[in-house]
Amino acid sequence: MKKYDIIIFDLDGTLVNTIADLGEAVNHALSQHGFPLHEAAEYPAMVGAGVRNLVKNALPASQRDNASTVESVLADFTAFYSSHIDVHTRPYPGMTGLLERLQADGSMLAVASNKFQSGTETLVREFFPERKFIAVCGNRPGMPLKPDAALVSSILSEAGEGVSAVMVGDSATDILTAHNGGIPAIAVNWGYRPESDLKDADALARSPEELEELLRG
């Protein structure tokens, strides 16, 4: 039995674990320019605000405000990542089945991500090919990044008036995005942020089973 008409999911860190491919792509781009590389464990703290900010965070502090350097490294990252986007990336255990059951119960599904639009669409299409999402929204020209509420507003307009909605994500950015859009936020703790960052969520799920209970009521 559905509790929400529409469930909006973050992508990276919520539906799929992308961190290894993101880290390898950034390290590749950094190596092309002779910059120091990062350990895989450093990357979870850098992601969540779009790939441009990921690249800036990975650069030496002295280069982060150098627009030419950022653009050049970003171009190398995007070229490598686009062709290696699914080498290590996989859905988190339990999420594929959860989406299937939620849709079978009549809930509409959507994705709201700060990943660039083509990358967002690629991963959703590859890993959840049998699910019908009413919207798959990533970063694209004219659309502000989360935590701006624009993505939520766009998705809700697709869903229609008077729908009950919730957002599921793994970061404070997702929680703030939901609240900025006037809907509750459920945080999951298997993503890239510690639980201490998720204190403002309306609820916290520590497993896909707990998430399902929260979403289905």
Q: In this structure, are residues 193 and 145 in contact, taking their beta carbons and an 8 Å threshold?
A: no
Token pair for 15: 């539906």
Cα 22 from Cα 185, distance rounded (Å): 25
Strand 108-116 to 6-9 pairing: parallel
200 is catalytic: no
Cα 51 from Cα 55, distance rounded (Å): 6
Q: In this structure, are residues 186 and 212 in contact, taking their beta carbons and an 8 Å threshold?
A: no
Q: In this structure, are residues 167 and 150 in contact, taking their beta carbons and an 8 Å threshold?
A: no
Which is the catalytic residue, given 10, 21, 76, 174?
A: 10
- Catalytic residues, by residue number, are 10
